Structure 1
Amino acid sequence: MSRSWRTPAVMLLFGGVILTLSLGIRHGFGLFLQPMSSEYGWGREVFAFAIALQNLVWGLAQPFAGMIADRFGAGRVLAGGGTLYALGLALMAASDSGPSLSLSAGLLIGLGLSGTAFSVVYGALGRAFPPHQRSMAFGIAGAAGSFGQFIMLPVEQSLIGTLGWFGALLALALLAALMVPLAAALAEPRDHGSAGAVSGQSMREALAEAGTHGGFWLLCFGFFVCGFQVVFIAVHFPAFVTDLGLSGRVGMMALALIGLFNVAGTYTAGWLGGRYRKKYLLAGLYLARAVVISAFLLLPITEVSIYVFAACMGLLWLGTVPLTNGVVAQIFGVKYLSTLFGFVFLGHQVGSFMGVWLGGFLFDLTGSYNAVWAITIGLGVVAALLHWPIDDRELRAGDFTKAPLG
């Protein structure tokens, strides 16, 4: 089949729609926590563990999905991921126990996300766009994923209200299946990896080079913090709001506002990343998160303050993704971008697992989320400090020495 229609603009459009569906659907899983737990008499840890497992599986599978995409093209991985995603949602509807929920919402959807989220899409876009347009392309694609978080939350809330949680999950499975035909736009030839910064470098050499680069590990830890913060909030915030005596609609609207403002935040982060040093932008973003969360908890919590908090967090939500991905591409090139970012993203998902699971565990243990909120603030400050000394200079051919941090 001719590749003439797969222009960079078309790849960006279709990749953005895939991210809209993939990230939008998962952003609303917190809406299913209370109805499913009430239906089966579960404690919050049961649902929280399944979603935590989802994030861990997503992270563990992401480097391998990236390797396959870097070697055989993103289209195949996206199609396979979309199939697993849809199957996981359908089986999630039939899950009536902790183990079955962990298999469907945890394992299958986690594998599906590894094939349909940032790493694979960004790898294809990074190879399609020249360096001076790359950060902006990442920002636009990330903004599309953010728009999905905004638009899908009221959709999922409406589906639950009209079809019940069971029917809502089946409807979402049909939506997820749309990612399979959309993947055709991001199909790449097997020789697509010729544009790396070190053109003759093997994947093994690229991984060895990254493993000895101090900045690579600091990016991994920073993404651990990102995952801890955002997934804890995404899954537990609706329950946190209802615990305060407010309606479930307030929690849903808060998550929708996060998604809406995240559109602007992610696009702006990508735009700024093309003009300023990305590591400093990342440091400022993590510090701003710590400040916003602290202010929210210290001030009286009302419906208005919840919406203000959601808007502020939305501006800071996924701006880390185009910036972090941009630093990886800047240092190591784009030949193995899906693979390398996949390993960085593993750190994000380990953090996601800890954030969502600790949220449920510590709530069941103490009756509140106070301890987890405190951890999110402290981690934000640490992440801000650790991004500052990253050495973000481009590596040259044959440079396999350990890079300094600053």
Structure 2
Amino acid sequence: MTAAQTRALSRPNIPLVIVCGCLIAMISFGPRSAMGLFFLPMTEAQGWSREVFALAIAIQNLVWGIGQPVSGMMADRFGTWKSMALGAVLYAAGLLMMIDAQSALALHLSAGVLIGLGIAFSSFSLVLAAFGRTVSPEQRSLAFGIGTASGSLGQFLFNPLGAALIESIGWQTTLLVFTGLIATLPLLAVALRGKPEQSAASGTAGDQKLTDAVAEAFGTRGFILLTTGFFVCGFHVAFITVHLPPYIADLGLGTALGGWALAFIGLFNIVGSLASGYAGGRHSKPILLSLIYLGRAIAIFAFIMLPITPASVLVFSAVMGLLWLSTIPLTSGLVAVMFGPRYMATLFGFVFLSHQIGAFLGVWLGGKLYDETGSYDAIWWCAIVLGILAAIIHWPIEERPVPRLAQQAAE
């Protein structure tokens, strides 16, 4: 067999990678996005305060963020499949332990630590990294949008499904159903097996070490700004995902509307993510990110200032859905543009850590401030201010390769 034949056989099947990657993103993101539906039934059943459950999900987001660079390094070093398989085991174990969690500590260990680690090792960020090394540079932004939109489809499907299952078979059995779905991830991840190769063809220096890549990233102004701004995305997304359903219920609008609100966010985020991926390949990614964060601030301001009705909740959810994870194709795309795909899983992992620190604070502060004041008003206003700051932070980011890559391209 010739070297050319060997390379041809080793080439990934791009359609299969995309389809399986999208299914993984959908399934892994679904249960996590539906955690807010378990907020009221679990706290009422166990007699916990809202801060107890909020802290568990806050821990989940923080552990997810801390685990993301580690999972990225593992995927870059040993391959995507091994990381995904480990993540599925941890994720399933966390869901099962939630069923029998009788104390706050048990809830924090299961819903917090185990599920957080499970998501870190099986989430769409590793899927995007696999897409980044599989498709051509011209196709990356759109591929990232498709992968992100698949996670949104999971949110759209799992929230009404979760709400219906909780009402019909109870929250414990619903968690068991979610566990069975997570168990399918290792099978789907077989198509994503492999790891990036060090070669000039991949757009990076063949002898660059992981430590050098990390040092290069943190020495780049654009990477620091991108990482800082992504904190705000996590704050917004996590706060709304967990606290919007109980906020709606507190207003006397019913619990079912909360599930549909999250489903609307997921549905419209499919459109937003695809549009973001498409636009990111043709227009300035930093400017698009600034406009997205500014749009979020305006949408939240309008939502809390106008009378809140079932119609206004769904309109707000639709608008936020368009702006929801549309940041991810642009953010991950900027990482790929600046540093190439070689260590994308690791570098995007560090950016995502900032996202999850923001998520931790958004979820925890939402519960804490509610317990102290009986209202979510303060956290809504905080979200508005942070959206404006994020719009300012992203504007000056330069969308260009680092000098090392630019020099390679010139040679």
Asked if structure 1 preserves the Cα contact closer than 8 Å seen for 2:30 and 2:159, the reply is: yes
Aligned 1:48-59 pairs, distance under 5 A: 48-59=54-65
In structure 2, relative to structure 1, the CA distance for the partners of 1:258 and 1:193 (3 Å cut) is farther
Asked if structure 1 preserves the Cα contact closer than 8 Å seen for 2:95 and 2:176, the reply is: yes
Farther off after superposition, 388-397 or 174-183? 388-397
Deviation at 1:118, TM superposition (A): 2.6
Structure-2 separation of matches of 1:152 and 1:113: 16
Indicate the residue corresponding to 1:90 in structure 2: 96
Deviation at 1:158, TM superposition (A): 1.5
Identity of aligned residues (%): 50
Structure-2 separation of matches of 1:362 and 1:267: 35
Structure-2 separation of matches of 1:132 and 1:343: 24
Structure-2 separation of matches of 1:59 and 1:198: 28
CA deviation map 1:169-188 (0-9, x unaligned): 11111111111111101001
In structure 2, relative to structure 1, the CA distance for the partners of 1:193 and 1:187 (3 Å cut) is farther
CA deviation map 1:183-223 (0-9, x unaligned): 10100157467624333211111111111111111111111
Asked if structure 2 preserves the Cα contact closer than 8 Å seen for 1:63 and 1:342, the reply is: yes
1:161 aligns with 2:167: yes
Structure-1 separation of matches of 2:299 and 2:132: 32
2:238 is aligned with what amino acid? V
1:170 aligns with 2:176: yes
1:348 aligns with 2:366: no
Structure 1, unaligned stretches of length 5 or more?
401-406
Deviation at 1:392, TM superposition (A): 2.0
Farther off after superposition, 353-362 or 166-175? 166-175
State the secondary structure of the residue aligned to 1:397: helix
Instruction: Output the aligned Cα RMSD.
Output: 1.7
Structure-2 separation of matches of 1:185 and 1:91: 29
Indicate the residue corresponding to 2:396 in structure 1: 389
Indicate which of 30, 35, 38 corresponds to 1:29: 35
Indicate the residue corresponding to 1:202 in structure 2: 209
Structure 2, unaligned stretches of length 5 or more?
1-7
Deviation at 1:245, TM superposition (A): 0.7
Indicate which of 63, 66, 75 corresponds to 2:69: 63
State the secondary structure of the residue aligned to 2:170: helix
Could you tell me the TM-score, scaled by structure 1's length?
0.96
Deviation at 1:122, TM superposition (A): 1.1
1:378 aligns with 2:385: yes
Aligned 1:246-325 pairs, distance under 5 A: 246-325=253-332
In structure 2, relative to structure 1, the CA distance for the partners of 1:217 and 1:190 (3 Å cut) is closer
Asked if structure 2 preserves the Cα contact closer than 8 Å seen for 1:71 and 1:193, the reply is: no
1:229 is aligned with what amino acid? H
Indicate the residue corresponding to 1:188 in structure 2: 194
Structure-2 separation of matches of 1:338 and 1:30: 28
1:185 is aligned with what amino acid? A
2:341 is aligned with what amino acid? V
Deviation at 1:399, TM superposition (A): 8.3
Aligned 1:97-108 pairs, distance under 5 A: 97-108=103-114
2:287 is aligned with what amino acid? Y
Structure-2 separation of matches of 1:33 and 1:398: 47
1:236 aligns with 2:243: yes
CA deviation map 1:151-170 (0-9, x unaligned): 11111112111211111111
Deviating 4+ runs (over 3 angstroms): 2-6, 189-194
Deviation at 1:4, TM superposition (A): 6.2
Indicate the residue corresponding to 1:404 in structure 2: none
Deviation at 1:117, TM superposition (A): 1.3
State the secondary structure of the residue aligned to 1:184: helix
